[in-house]
Structure formats: structure tokens, C-alpha cells
Amino acid sequence: MTNANGAAGTVDAGATGVEATTGVPESNGYETIAVDRPRPRVALITLNRPKALNALNLRVMGEVIAAAAELDRDPSVGAIVLTGSAKAFAAGADIKEMQPKSFSDVYAADWFAGWDALTRVRTPLIAAVAGYALGGGCELAMMCDVLLAADTAKFGQPEITLGVIPGMGGSQRLTRAVGKAKAMDLCLTGRMMDADEAERAGLVSRIVPAADLLDEALAVAGKIAAVSAPAAVMVTEAVDRAFETTLTEGILFERRLFHSTFATADQKEGMAAFVEKRPPVFRNV
């Protein structure tokens, strides 16, 4: 939704979340996103439809998925930050694109299914959310491994106000993140919750001042990118598995992954560095 009522808004084209970056653009072939390498082993994807509050149309989906997949294949990238503008991370799906569609159209095209590809990206994804993250924007943020919020962030699933329901996983991921009671409240009323409420509910990991959001997200990404890449992939898989299986099966899955780390050179280096009281130098193998 492009705002809580589904209507598109307008935002200053200069009010983006990327002014502070110093990296050189990775590619100028995208129309709705920008891709940068602001720090070693860290990539930044910025949604760039400011006049539409970064509404998620099919082109945005295709470009985000393509960029994330390309970065995921690059061994020099250890973490990816996904952000939007100061006014909106993404205010939802593009209603103008969807409004004329019929049931046959959306069912045959399996509308929104393409976003599932983002959940198959194994490089850790960090969402840096300022302003509105509504409908598909909230769902997109929840697809990421870590969710950081500016103190200006507002989250919600307002699809009910348009006569529809979430379609990118909102009813499922939101319930897993904040519990049934609050998820039902948000999905049935279409109301927004601010950053403080989102943190209390467990949707976001931390809140930072809006002016510091990108720097904080890049710092978090830098820390993640500095650890062993195989271990980072394994820990995201282990945490995600907790929502898809029983406790007994999840613990066994975790233990087998733990055992697997002993087949890596990084485990040898990490433990040797600890014993020798020096920083580890991981080779991501």
C-alpha cells in the first residue's frame, strides 16, 4: 500500500537515505533502485522511487531480486543493506498497477510470488527502515535477517482498508514476529505502529535516530561481513528453522550445523585466534 489508505504520496526526491555513502555505484542499469559498495564486503541496495514513496511494482521486484541475487553470488560481499528514503522505506505495493487486475490475472501470474526469491538469498540481509514501511513495505522488511528502525519508522499491514489482505507473507511473518494478538490487531484494523511499539513487540532489533540509521546499518553489516561467511549462513538457517519445525528437530538441526562448522578452515582459525589472544583472520572457507 502506498500509504495507510492505499493512496500514493509525494516526497522530496532529495530526501533519500544514501547521501552519506561514499561508495561508487555498482551499476547504473537499474531504474528503481541504486546499488553501491559503501564499505569493504558490504553492499547497499536503495529503493529509489521517492515520488511514489518507493511503492513496490513489478519492476522494483525484478530489480531488487536481480541485484540481491547478483550480490549473493559475489564472494566479496559479506552482508547486504536494504533501505529506502527518509520518508518511506516502502509504503506498500503499487496500487495503480494492481487496481485493474482480476482474480484470473493475479492467480495465473501468482502475484507477489517473485518476492520469495529474496528469502533464498543466503548473504545476510539488513533492512534499514525510516518512515513508512506499510503493506508490502513491511513485508519486504520482514524478509530480511536483521531489521533496524529509525525513530521515524512506522509499520503496518493496511491491506484491509482496500478490501484485500496481505499477500507477501505479512499475516505469517508478522504473527511469528509479534504474536497472534498484535498481528491480528494490525491486520484487522490497518493501523500503524511506531518504532517504539515495533521494538517492544519484537519486530525490530534496535531503534536509532533517523540521521544515524544508514551509518548504524552499515556498521552492523560490517560486523556481520567480518565474521566467517559459512558460519553466518549457518546461523541464519538455524534461526529461521526455529519457526518451521519442532523444538526437538530444531535443536538437532542446529547441532548438525554446529558439527559442520568443524569442517571449515574458519573454525580452526577462529579457535586458534581465541587461544592465541589475537583477532581472527577468516578466509570464508
Q: Which three cell numbers stand for residue 270?
A: 577462529
Distances (CA, A) of 7 to 80, 159, 161: 30, 12, 11
- Where helices occur in 74-179 by DSSP H, the ranges are 95-98, 103-108, 136-142, 170-178
Rounded to whole angstroms, the Cα distance separating 222 from 204 reads 19
Q: Is 93 a catalytic residue?
A: yes
Q: Is 211 a catalytic residue?
A: no
Given a contact cutoff of 8 angstroms between Cβ atoms, the answer to whether 45 and 35 are in contact is yes
Q: Which three cell numbers stand for residue 200?
A: 517492544
Q: Which three cell numbers stand for residue 54?
A: 518507493
Rounded to whole angstroms, the Cα distance separating 140 from 211 reads 22
Rounded to whole angstroms, the Cα distance separating 56 from 93 reads 4
Angle CA 228–83–109, to nearest 5 = 100
Query: What are the phi and psi torsion angles at 118 (to 5°)?
Result: -65, -30
Q: Is 139 a catalytic residue?
A: yes
Residue 76: partners with Cβ closer than 8 Å, 6 or more residues away: 41
Residue of 4, 43, 68, 93 marked active site: 93
Residue of 6, 131, 136, 270 marked active site: 136
Query: Residue 266 is inside which H or E element, if any?
Result: helix 265-275
> Strand order in 192-194's β-sheet?
88-90, 132-134, 154-156, 192-194
Q: Is 199 a catalytic residue?
A: no
Given a contact cutoff of 8 angstroms between Cβ atoms, the answer to whether 168 and 139 are in contact is yes
Q: What is the CA radius of gyration of the chain?
A: 19
Residue of 43, 84, 139, 232 marked active site: 139
Q: Which residues on adjacent β-strands are paired with residue 85?
A: 16
Residue of 137, 153, 159, 169 marked active site: 159
The residues that are catalytic are: 93, 136, 139, 159
